[in-house]
């Protein structure tokens, strides 16, 4: 029984989606500190704290959306909507997870990180309660969650959060958020508005236009970043421009999966299940590390 309860709790916290928190390592890599053991340990600690916070947010989200999730073809199978995990057990788990997150932050990290982590938690709760019902603001809120993760990664190791990283992260996060909305709209079809009211405000055509704009902006900003004088001065090389094809491939592959395979509702699932995309991301990361460090 205990094992069954633990499994249901873990499923509710959705560990597969914790891969989103890997973006906390971006500041460590681009700050030229990848081989600094103390900073690596701080980043790993920040990663695990955000995994706990993410799990707490998913519990809150499932409790708030309980009735709507019961009508969803996929979400109805989750532990809370299906009744496998009771509300009291979910609330008790939430309290324990938040307590562990607070203790970990206070012991191992600094106040700027704690403030950023708290901002992330409050944003996610606000999203679950009302922001997800406001057109356009809903996708900006999802994107802000990704951005706060990266800021937290920078604050954890006390490095500057560059303007370029801000824009690249924001635009890429918007691209993923809009893709998620499009997938929900296509998947649920006529039942979409009954599951999530905000989908009534969107159409596939509108989302395609938004995705097109954000995609173009993301590519342009990244290319400008790789050839900017600031970047060349910082790293002593302009070779980051050679990583642009990997970025283009990743975006094109994701667009292919969105339009031809009707995927994109869960970026972490797409990344783990689509090998060409996964290999592209790995090759990009290796290329960046080789250029910056060797």
What pLDDT, on a 0 to 100 scale, did the predictor assign at position 215?
A: 94
pLDDT for 104 equals: 82
Q: Are residues 155 and 21 part of one domain?
A: yes
Can you give the pTM of this predicted structure? Answer: 0.86
Is 257 among the domain residues? yes
What are the pLDDT digits (tens) for 88-112?
Answer: 888 888 888 888 888 888 777 788 9
220 falls within a domain:
yes
Contacts of 289 (CB under 8 A, 6+ apart): 29, 34
User: What is d(CA 80, CA 77) in angstroms, rounded to the nearest whole number?
Assistant: 8
Same structural domain for residues 156 and 22? yes
DSSP-assigned letters across all residues of 162-199: -HHHHHHHHHHHHHHHHHHHHHHHHHHGGGHHHH-GGG
Mean pLDDT by 10 residues, the chain (294 residues): 73 86 91 89 92 89 80 77 84 86 81 91 90 92 93 91 89 91 75 65 90 94 93 91 95 90 75 88 94 88
* Residue 3 lies inside a defined structural domain of this protein: no
Cα–chain center distance at 198:
20
Point out the domain boundary residue: 143, 161, 179.
161
Q: What is the pLDDT of residue 282?
A: 93
The reported pLDDT for the residue numbered 91 is 86
Q: Are residues 184 and 251 in the same domain?
A: yes
213 and 131 co-located in one domain: no
Judge if 227 and 118 occupy the same domain.
no
d(CA 163, CA 27) in angstroms, rounded, equals 12
Q: Which domain holds residue 157?
A: 11-161
Give the separation between CA 206 and CA 201, rounded to whole angstroms.
10
Q: What is the pLDDT of residue 1?
A: 46
Which of 161, 177, 203 is where one domain is finished? 161
Residue 264: the pLDDT is 66
Distance in angstroms between the alpha carbons of the first and the last residue of the chain:
52
| Statement to judge: residues 157 and 189 lie in one domain | no
Question: Which one of 123, 140, 161 terminates a domain?
Answer: 161
* Residues 263 and 149 placed together within one structural domain of the fold: no
Co-location of 255 and 278 in the same domain? yes
Whether 4 maps to a domain, the answer reads no
């Amino acid at each position: 029984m205990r094992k069954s309860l633990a499994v249901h709790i873990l499923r509710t916290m959705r560990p597969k989606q914790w891969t989103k928190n890997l973006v906390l390592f971006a500041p460590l890599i681009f700050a030229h500190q990848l081989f600094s053991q103390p900073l690596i340990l701080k980043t790993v600690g920040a990663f695990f704290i955000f995994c706990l916070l993410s799990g707490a947010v998913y519990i809150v989200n499932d409790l708030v959306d309980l009735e709507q999730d019961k009508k969803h073809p996929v979400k109805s199978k989750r532990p809370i909507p299906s009744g496998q995990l009771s509300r009291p057990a979910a609330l008790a788990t939430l309290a324990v997870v938040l307590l562990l997150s607070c203790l970990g932050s206070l012991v191992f990290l600094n106040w700027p990180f704690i403030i950023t982590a708290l901002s992330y938690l409050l944003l996610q709760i606000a999203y679950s309660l009302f922001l997800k019902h406001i057109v356009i603001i809903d996708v900006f809120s999802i994107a802000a969650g990704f951005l706060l993760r990266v800021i937290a990664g920078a604050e954890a190791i006390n490095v500057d959060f560059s303007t370029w990283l801000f824009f690249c992260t924001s635009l890429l996060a918007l691209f993923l958020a809009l893709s998620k909305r499009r997938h929900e709209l296509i998947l649920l079809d006529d039942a979409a508005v009954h599951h999530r009211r905000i989908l009534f405000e969107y159409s596939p055509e509108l989302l395609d236009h938004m995705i097109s704009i954000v995609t173009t902006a993301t590519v342009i900003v990244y290319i400008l970043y790789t050839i900017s004088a600031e970047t060349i001065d910082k790293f002593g090389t302009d070779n980051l421009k050679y990583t642009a094809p990997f970025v283009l491939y990743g975006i094109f592959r994701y667009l292919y999966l969105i339009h031809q395979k009707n995927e994109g509702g869960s970026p972490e699932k797409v990344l783990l299940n689509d090998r060409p995309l996964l290999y592209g991301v790995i090759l990009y990361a290796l290329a960046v590390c080789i250029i910056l460090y060797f």
